[in-house]
Amino acid sequence: MAENRGWDEFDAGAILFTFNEKVDNIATTLAEDRPYSSSSSFTASVGDWRIEKPIFNKDYCIDCQFCWIYCPDVSIIARDKKMIGIDFDHCKGCGICVEVCPTNPKSLLMFGEHLDDDECLASWPEKDEKEV
């Protein structure tokens, strides 16, 4: 399929292939190197209904990979088992990555989509001290 189509422009029963060609070693091929077809959701920016965005603060991250495992949109970018950022073309702003992040303070927090990233990082909360 060469052209992009909307979801309601396909014939009923159409088969949509994820890739344009066979991919060997999919597990070791980075997403940006895979031959995604134009009907794959990977090729479209589908994060435009997000009203809040996760901001990543690497100062607190322990690279546990929980966010990568639990993100329902495969929008956490990790390389060599290290969290390096968020794919905002696909992130829907669900906040699950923030919920599962175990650090104190969290290494991911949700902020309004319109806010400046540097300002979000500057307003990061302090560590919560345990009451004794």
What residues line the site for ligand SF4 (CB under 6 A)? Answer: 54, 61-67, 71, 73, 75-76, 83, 86, 91-97, 100-101, 103, 107-108
User: How far apart are CB 131 and ligand SF4 at their closest, in Å?
Assistant: 24
Tokens describing residue 82: 């290290």
Strands (E), 23-101: 52-56, 76-79, 82-86
Kind and range of the H or E element at 119? helix 117-122
Q: Which residue's CB is nearer to ligand SF4, number 34 or number 95?
A: 95
For residue 65, the number of C-alpha atoms closer than 13 Å in the C-beta half-sphere is 6
Q: Which residue's CB is nearer to ligand SF4, number 24 or number 126?
A: 126
User: How far apart are CB 80 and ligand SF4 at their closest, in Å?
Assistant: 13
